[in-house]
A and B are shown apart, each in its own frame.
Chain A
Amino acid sequence: MGDIAMMLLRPWNLALKWAVMFSIIFFLFFDGVTARCDSTEQVSTLNELIALFDSSSCKECHEKIYEQWEKSHHARPLMGLDDEIFMTKYLKNGVLAVKPGEKGTKRNFPCFKCHLPQFKYATDKVAAEIADAILRNDKASVRQLTISCLVCHNEKAVVHGCPEKNVIYGNRDLPEDTGHLVKKSPLMKNSLMCGQCHGLGPNLEFETPVQCATLYGSYLHAYIPSGGTQTCQDCHMKDGNHYMPPNFNNREEFSERLKQSLPMEVQTLSYTFEPKEGDSRPMVVLKTKITSKAGHRIPDG
């Protein structure tokens, strides 16, 4: 009788088990969403935003790395080619335009998803300040908005959960006596670290969808399936160099990098073509072959 009762109850047990499992999965998922740090902390002035991710103290102990970073595009993510503020033209004309700058809101800055990830902690008041600074061509203020050390070593260092406040993430755990708590992030040597910003394609989550870099998508869907084995860091952060080339403003260096990445072979054949008797035509046949050593399409970003 007991066995029969157990058999009758078994489907319910199964259903119960699934219900419990589903609840746990749902709880984990839901809890994960709320724990993504997106974000309860808000700053309402530009100076507060700059201070929130200020990494200048890193230079005291990591001078060489800091100097490398200072020369990188990460140190000037809002400055385009030839030291112009790249957002100016978008704020002046087109779907992201705003006039005057004081009317700017976070909606004007989908580009900041990657060009200034810490912007998610800012209010519309900060957006207005930034829009105003950009439209006034206030480069001194705009230059203070950077992909600082804390963006990569905290904000973007954890994707499975939430980065902890006041923790620096690196390649290994370090004891606290170094001055700050350093925890290992498995992402640091992983291409996903860079892929968070360096592009999968259209960003459809915004009211005005934007499409910038598609580079990480190319890495995932062209380089890896073709047998590629290198990470972004292998090529762009050799020996941990935080200069992270290419540097579009160093024209010679960038040209040389492209030359190394895209070897080109040229072959020529010169002869007299004679399609029919007595019809001689001098001819050169030129063959070119460009091979790519890059881990992504070129050009991309």
Chain B
Amino acid sequence: MPQATDSRSNQMMLGPDKKLGLIRDTSIQPFAPKEETMEIPLPPGVTKAVIEVRLTYQPRPGNIYPIHKVVRNVSLEETR
């Protein structure tokens, strides 16, 4: 999300009556795909796992708009 201070300190501010100037922007930009790689170590002996990926939008904490939910069943059974 675009993050702003009030331009009087380096404290991030919330609310249009306080924000004044962006200092960091982690939002999704046009023509700029966001790629992430996550390495998930599994406990020893585990051969199956269900990976659930959710993308949501939360304009306020707790106010959740679901966007994507992708489920992948992965198996390590072929490992020697």
Indicate, yes or no, whether A interacts with B.
yes
A residues neighboring B (CB under 8 Å): 81, 90, 94-96, 111, 201-202, 208-212, 214, 218, 222-223, 226-228, 248, 251, 254-255, 258-259, 262, 264, 266, 268, 270-273, 280-292, 294-300
Contacts of B22 in A (CB 8 A): 201, 214
Which 6 A-B pairs give the minimum distances between C-beta atoms?
Answer: A226-B31, A270-B74, A282-B42, A211-B19, A297-B27, A223-B30
Of A94, A255, A281, A288, the residue contacting B17 (CB under 8 A) is A94
Of A264, A287, A294, the residue contacting B30 (CB under 8 A) is A294
Q: How many residues of B contact A (CB 8 A)?
A: 51
Of A202, A227, A264, A285, the residue contacting B20 (CB under 8 A) is A202
Alpha-carbon separation in the docked complex, A294 to B42 (Å):
37
- CB <8 Å contact, A287 and B37: yes
Shortest beta-carbon distance, B80 to chain A, in Å? 8
Contacts of B30 in A (CB 8 A): 218, 222-223, 226, 228, 292, 294-297
Alpha-carbon separation in the docked complex, A94 to B16 (Å):
11
- CB <8 Å contact, A271 and B76: yes
Contacts of A222 in B (CB 8 A): 29-32
Contacts of B2 in A (CB 8 A): 214, 297, 299-300
- CB <8 Å contact, A284 and B16: no
Of B34, B47, B53, B65, the residue contacting A286 (CB under 8 A) is B53
Contacts of B20 in A (CB 8 A): 202, 209-211
B residues neighboring A (CB under 8 Å): 1-2, 4, 15-22, 25, 27-47, 49, 51, 53, 55, 57, 59-60, 63, 65-68, 70, 72, 74-76, 79
Given contacts A223-B30, A262-B55, A297-B25, contact A111 B16 (CB under 8 A): yes
B-side interface mostly:
strand
Contacts of A262 in B (CB 8 A): 28, 55, 67-68
Alpha-carbon separation in the docked complex, A222 to B28 (Å):
11
Shortest beta-carbon distance, A288 to chain B, in Å? 5
Of B21, B53, B60, the residue contacting A211 (CB under 8 A) is B21
Contacts of A289 in B (CB 8 A): 33-35
- CB <8 Å contact, A208 and B17: yes
Given contacts A266-B53, A289-B34, contact A284 B27 (CB under 8 A): no
- CB <8 Å contact, B28 and A290: yes
Alpha-carbon separation in the docked complex, A193 to B67 (Å):
29
Alpha-carbon separation in the docked complex, A90 to B25 (Å):
25
Chain A, residue nearest B55 (CB): A264
